[in-house]
Amino acid sequence: MNDLSRLEDLPPPYLEPLARHSLVPLWPSLRALLPPGVPTRKTQAACWPYAAIRPLLMQAGELTPIDKAERRVLVLANPGHGPESLQATAAIYLGMQLLLPGEWAPAHRHTPNAVRLIVEGQGATTTVAGEQCVMERGDLILTPTGQWHEHAHEGPAPVVWLDVLDLPLVHYLEASYHVNGPRQGVVPEHGEQLYAQGGLVPSVDFERAARPQPMLRYPWAQVRAALLALATNRPGQASVQVTYTNPETGGDVQPILGCYAQMLRPGQRLRLPVRSPAMVLHLIEGAADVVIGEQPFALAEADTCCAPGYTEVTLSNRSAELPAFLFIADETPLHKKLGVFENRG
């Protein structure tokens, strides 16, 4: 039996002076803040099929010119947080962004960290702190906090990418803002070329002090090859996963969110460890089923889903002949920094 009284159990003559002095009794809300065993979570299992998103995104391109929208995005809003919250989990914002041929999304910088996972198209670039990053399907591009970035498209067909930001957390901390700026000059460096070989980093007379991340673009072709090599070299290893890291430090590519690529062997069924952080999954290639808790979702290419923390997630490759590849982002770096990370196996 709950031995804590409810707020309505307290007499109005006691509650009225509390309200006048901005005081709140803790005990009626204590179990909501500190529930037994598992946290209270607003984040719900959810799925956003790309087949539903894409026509609405293209219609947005017809309805709203880029000079009015600045960033033409449809937000993937988790129903547990409500549409007004503009968030997928407690710390993760997701949005599908469209850039049409000939368009330029002007330069700005902001406090939230962002990564872009390219969904479709070619011929577009993202310039981050002067480094021009080609945008090709499956590539991951970083825009760290405070770095100028802009998007330009000179290709023949629409380009779409998935934005992943730590915006909900930065907004909660009352630290979220942006600054507009002029078009950037382009520098000759390409981090994905300088750090293309594993185990080798530039050393003599080489400085990257102006940037928090030395490598801004992670080409999908390299990531896919690494997954296939891992699967070949470790045939008995169940989980074929690689982590996107800073090549100089080995640390996460974002201070708040972790980024990973997961391969499912043909016909494989994989149960992910039950951990405290929430996660989002985006299918890059193949066809996969995901069960989040007891909720099943069938994923086609470019579909995105969300799983709350402390929840069992099972992935299954529907193909018996071809591998499936997923991009995963989660809140692990944040949980570890706060000391609340749990792995319940």
**Which is nearest to 61 in space by CA: 164, 163, 160?**
160
Q: Which residue has the tokens 């290709």?
A: 155
How far is Cα 325 from Cα 317, in angstroms, rounded to an integer?
Answer: 9
**How confident is residue 107, by pLDDT bands cut at 50, 70 and 90?**
very high
Is residue 150, in this structure, part of any structural domain at all? yes
Q: Which residue has the tokens 């994989």?
A: 270
Residue pair 287/316 in contact (Cβ under 8 Å)? The answer is no
Is residue 33, in this structure, part of any structural domain at all? no
**Residue 196, pLDDT score:** 84
CATH code where residue 251 lies: 2.60.120.10
DSSP H helical ranges for 97-236:
167-172, 191-194, 220-233
How far is Cα 67 from Cα 307, in angstroms, rounded to an integer?
Answer: 35
The first and second tokens of residue 227, run together, are 């997954």
Is residue 2, in this structure, part of any structural domain at all? no
Residues in the chain: 345
Is residue 79, in this structure, part of any structural domain at all? yes
Is residue 245, in this structure, part of any structural domain at all? yes
**Residue 210, pLDDT score:** 60
Amino acid at 131: E
pTM of the model: 0.95
**Residue 6, pLDDT score:** 79
The first and second tokens of residue 274, run together, are 């039950």
**Residue 281, pLDDT score:** 98
Q: List the domain range (segments joined by +) for residue 140.
A: 46-338
How far is Cα 67 from Cα 74, in angstroms, rounded to an integer?
Answer: 16
How far is Cα 139 from Cα 97, in angstroms, rounded to an integer?
Answer: 15
Asked if the model's pLDDT at residue 209 lies above 60, the reply is: no
CA-to-CA dists, residue 136 to 203, 237, 268, angstroms: 29, 30, 27
Count of domains in the chain?
1
Is residue 197, in this structure, part of any structural domain at all? yes
Q: Exposure of 176 by Cβ count < 10 A (0-12 exposed, 13-18 middle, 19+ buried)?
A: middle
Give the chain's mean pLDDT. 94
CA-to-CA dists, residue 17 to 23, 24, 28, 32, 41, angstroms: 8, 10, 17, 24, 32
Is residue 317, in this structure, part of any structural domain at all? yes
* % of the chain with per-residue pLDDT over 70: 97
Is residue 9, in this structure, part of any structural domain at all? no
**How confident is residue 208, by pLDDT bands cut at 50, 70 and 90?**
low
